[in-house]
Structure 1
Amino acid sequence: MHYSNGEDTTCRLCTRVHESHDHLFFMCRYSLQVWKYIQAKAQTRWPNLTWNSLVEWTSRRCQDTKSTNNKIRALIFAATVYYIWQERNKRIFQQLSQPASTVGEAIYQVLRDQIMCSNGISLADGTREIWNIPRPARPIRVIGQDR
């Protein structure tokens, strides 16, 4: 976020406060609604930290890439920050805006699609339920059929 002299630095999402990383991604009323939406849908919690602290916390927490939940948490963080940034840019450059719930649902759906398409990850039944992912169909075995 770089501004030229005289350029408006007001947050484009809430139009109330000077825009900074901390404000835009984690303290803005709009961003908080997006985070609450995706946290509720994904049944997860994020600590209320500054930008730098949360990036560090997420990096440490998600280092264990063998854990499916850590992979999903890393995806949630990256996608939510990306979609908030995209919403900001749409408001600036295209004069378009969406409700926080619409952005939250878009994040949920793109993450669900990503999780469904991930090869080689094992999903617990609870995770499948959270992300509305059906269990893989078992092959039908016909009696008397050669193996």
Structure 2
Amino acid sequence: MKSVLDLAQIGQGMYNISRMYKVLRPDLTGCNWDKLVWEKWAAPKHKFIGWIAWHNRLMTRDRLLRFGAPTEASCLLCGDVQEDHEHLFFKCKYSKMIWKEVSNWLDTRIKLVNLASARRAIRRVKKDLCRRVLHMCILACIYQIWMSRNTALWEQKIFCIHTVVKSIKFDIVTRLRNMNTRKIAKENREWIDKLV
């Protein structure tokens, strides 16, 4: 560090803040989830649940069992297999139907099997607006599936797929309508209007 921080250089005005910052801060490896979770157009509650889901920290039944909680292992939405993050959000029959309906609504063909495939699906979309809307939809789906699961747990009722998808559409369209439309190109505004 002494070679970088030379008092003679500081006195001559040759001190470089960015070089010193690199010396003091170790190289950090980039994270692979930040672009998936922190989409600025998405609702904060969707981003927060997406962030927890990406880190596999939502209290799914498999995690509760690991902590010794007295609970059943089966999925609350389909009752077929053990509830874990991958099953709940991507392999559960209930979730698959939600993803299919949202995909049809967006007029896309995305097949998501886990969060990494969601990140790849977002990257493949070329148009910025379409990519952002897909991104928002993925986070909204994760949020709504988690809320449906919690409703099934605490209130012993499962929302029909149509209700959940309607809620996702409402969240997305409301966010898009509140955007500054001057910054959105005319053909993109027309595409947004079709989503309504």
**Do both proteins adopt the same fold according to a TM-score greater than 0.5, normalized to the shorter chain?**
yes
- Residue 159 of structure 2 aligns to a residue in which SS? coil
Name the count of aligned residue pairs: 129
Q: TM-score, normalised by structure 2?
A: 0.58
Structure 1 Cα separation of the partners of residues 97 and 167 of structure 2: 14
Q: Where do residues 14-93 of structure 1 align in structure 2 (5 Å cutoff)?
A: 14-49=78-113, 51-58=114-121, 60-61=123-124, 67-93=128-154
Q: Where do residues 110-129 of structure 1 align in structure 2 (5 Å cutoff)?
A: 110-119=171-180, 120-122=183-185, 124=187, 127-129=191-193
Question: 1:39 touches 1:45 (CA, 8 Å); kept in 2?
Answer: yes
Structure 2 counterpart of 1:53, which letter? Answer: A
Question: What RMSD in Å do the two structures reach over aligned CA positions?
Answer: 2.2
Unpaired runs of at least 5, structure 1: 133-147
Unpaired runs of at least 5, structure 2: 1-59
Of all paired residues, the percent bearing the same amino acid is: 25
Structure 2 Cα separation of the partners of residues 130 and 114 of structure 1: 15
Structure 1 127/16 Cα, relative in aligned 2: closer, same or farther at 3 Å?
same
Q: Where do residues 103-114 of structure 1 align in structure 2 (5 Å cutoff)?
A: 103-114=164-175
Larger Rg: 1 or 2? 2
Aligned: 1:8 with 2:69: no
- Give the structure with the higher percent helix: 2
Question: 1:13 touches 1:30 (CA, 8 Å); kept in 2?
Answer: yes
Q: TM-score, normalised by structure 1?
A: 0.76
